[in-house]
């Protein structure tokens, strides 16, 4: 199946937020900002850590730089990702990580 015009559903652990349909290959941060999602995005380059999330679902592997930042922001959490770095390729379920 061609990925052209394919859409993926992003759902949230918080039921107060409706799932969002996103086009294949779109950046998660750009779409979720426009939809007023429960996720925060600061710098959009991954260095601030405001968009660290837990993800359920299939994603491309993080690049080396994202892995280094995740070791700082979410050590020992294999589900952690930087939402600003995710190019959507499948349906996922997300929640912000709490740093309390």
Q: Averaged over 58-68, what is the pLDDT?
A: 92
pLDDT at 14 (0 to 100): 84
Token pair of 47 as six digits = 């260095």
Q: pTM of the prediction?
A: 0.77
- Rounded Cα distance, 18 and 12, in Å: 7
- CA-closest candidate to residue 82, choices 22, 32, 14, 34: 32
- Name all domains of the chain by residue range, CATH numbers in brackets: 7-96 (3.10.20.30)
The answer on pLDDT for 100 being more than 50 is no
Token pair of 8 as six digits = 């993926």
Per-residue pLDDT tens over the stretch 12-54:
888 888 898 988 888 888 887 777 777 767 777 778 888 889 9
């Amino acid at each position: 199946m061609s990925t052209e015009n394919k859409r993926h559903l992003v759902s949230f652990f918080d039921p107060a937020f409706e799932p969002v349909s996103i086009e294949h290959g779109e950046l998660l941060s750009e779409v979720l900002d426009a939809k007023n999602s429960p996720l925060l995005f600061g710098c959009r380059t991954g260095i601030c850590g405001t968009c660290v999330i837990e993800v359920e679902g299939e994603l491309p592997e993080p690049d080396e730089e994202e892995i280094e930042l995740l070791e700082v922001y979410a050590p020992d959490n294999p589900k952690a990702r930087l939402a600003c770095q995710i190019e959507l390729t499948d349906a996922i379920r997300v929640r912000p990580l709490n740093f309390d």
